[in-house]
Amino acid sequence: MSGESSFQTNNAIVKWIEYRLPIFSFVNDAVVVYPTPKNLNYWWNMGSLAGIMLVVQIVTGIILAMHYTPHADLAFASTEHIMRDVNYGWLLRYMHANGASMFFIVVYIHILRGLYYGSYKAPREILWWMGIIIFILMMATAFMGYVLPWGQMSFWGATVITNLFSAVPIVGEGIVTWLWGGFSVDQPTLNRFYSLHYLLPFVIFAVVFVHLWALHHRKSNNPLGIDIKGPQDTIPFHPYYTAKDLYGMGVFGTIFAIVLFFAPNYMGHPDNYIPANPLVTPAHIVPEWYFLPFYAILRAIPDKLFGVVAMFGSLLILFVLPWLDTSKVRSARFRPVYKMLFWAFFIDCLVLGYIGGKPPEGIFIVGGRLATALYFAFFLVLPFIGWFERPKKLPESIATAVLESSGGSSGGAPDGAAAKSEDRG
């Protein structure tokens, strides 16, 4: 993206447009000749999958919005109308509801990939920040979307989550009344959530653009976590990674389709098929699965204000991660201590998720507190690991590492081909 574009054409119409709006060279530089580390593994598919899921959510959402009514008396019925009467309404709604879950699965893997391979480290801190902002926006969007069907879980989830802000000293109650536009979750709340639920995906889209801008400026990290040292370390994005991403998309699409057609309610809650009732709280309310680890942290602290602070803190602490990690080595492949710590953190997140879905009693209270302490402990011990850990020897370059691992001649041929296409581009 820096310097003169390599884009060339003899087509007069393309030239005419290109002179006025350099869109062809932009696309060419961004997704065709874009130099990409030649050693990316399948964990690097998640970025493009997340982008696809954003588009799927926006497209299905726009159609659903044509049939949905954001009114407290009609929202539940209009959702059922979509399911029963609208042509393919069931498909679109199940795609949208399960699509949110699939989007989160992909994004969680994407974040864990970044953690494992040190993608948050210099010079990618702002890229990392944009990712966290996207993640937070996604959570807000998903939360508000879940309120729209106006079932019992919608209503009480909205009540509990908006009440988190009442923990703010002095102005808390005022903030909650302002968020609701009334004295409880009601028609004004539903109406504004609908408005914001429609808006936020486009905000996400804009932040994704900045995320990609930063990415293309400093290029992708890679499984070795070492810098690109020259053209011998890269291959053009097309056809190598367009093909790899398309293959991943096929696998992902198959999994999505299996969930969609055979278990569309597996990740939902039966209580949400009961219309919202402001006078009765369901016996066991839980948020959607993708919020459970954070919900477990909220409940682990027996104080309202500090519980809320810990929950938001567990997200916001990711912003300072690039400075908490003092090691210069990015990839966990070369960091034996960090690698163990990463897996401990990963398991801890799963445990938090499990506990978040259980009632707050007995063993789950103790377990939740322990797992919450471990979550934060990960960030607190990170600075010290960097000081005493002895990293393994890093390879000289991506190219030499690739040639060594593929074992001589068999690795040489595609490498030569890649280099040639680089010359041509």
Q: Does 160 bind other proteins (CB under 8 A)?
A: yes
Min CB(82)–other proteins separation in Å: 26
Q: Does 178 bind other proteins (CB under 8 A)?
A: yes
Q: Does 192 bind other proteins (CB under 8 A)?
A: yes
DSSP states along 143-172: HHHHHTT-BHHHHHHHHHHHHGGGGSTTTH
Q: How many residues bind other proteins (CB under 8 A)?
A: 38
Q: Does 182 bind other proteins (CB under 8 A)?
A: yes
Q: Which residue's CB is nearer to other proteins, number 35 or number 356? A: 356
Interacting stretch for other proteins, rule CB under 8 A, among 179-187, 206-214, 227-235, 341-349? 179-187
Q: Does 188 bind other proteins (CB under 8 A)?
A: yes
Question: How far from 87 is each of 64, 69, 82, 84, CA to CA, in Å?
Answer: 11, 17, 8, 8
Which residue from 15, 217, 229, 284 is in contact with other proteins, where contact means CB under 8 A? 284
Per the annotation, the verdict on 220 as an active-site residue is yes
Residues 294-313 that bind other proteins (CB under 8 A): 299, 301-305, 307
Per the annotation, the verdict on 245 as an active-site residue is yes
Q: Is 287 exposed, middle or buried (0-12, 13-18, 19+ CB in 10 A)?
A: buried
Min CB(16)–other proteins separation in Å: 42
- 362 sits in the region (left: phi over 0; alpha: psi -120 to 50; else beta) called left
Q: Active-site residue among 38, 96, 121, 216?
A: 216
Min CB(175)–other proteins separation in Å: 11
Question: How far from 61 is each of 67, 105, 194, CA to CA, in Å?
Answer: 10, 19, 11
Handedness of CA 410, 412, 415, 420 (dihedral sign): negative
Q: How far apart are the first and last CA of the chain?
A: 14
Q: Which amino acid is at 322?
A: P
Q: Does 97 bind other proteins (CB under 8 A)?
A: no
Site string for other proteins, 370-409 (x = CB under 8 A): ----------------------------------------
Burial per residue of 379-390, b for 16 or more beta-carbon CB atoms within 10 angstroms, e otherwise = beebeebbeebe
Q: Which of 41, 35, 34, 110 is nearest to 405 (CA)?
A: 41
Q: Active-site residue among 244, 314, 331, 358?
A: 244
Q: Which residue's CB is nearer to other proteins, number 22 or number 172? A: 172
Q: Which residue's CB is nearer to other proteins, number 163 or number 397? A: 163
DSSP states along 308-341: HHHHHHHHHGGGGHHHH---S---GGG-HHHHHH
Binding stretches for other proteins (CB under 8 A): 156, 159-164, 166, 177-186, 188, 192, 278-285, 299, 301-305, 307, 359-361
Indicate which residues carry an active-site annotation: 216, 220, 244-245, 288
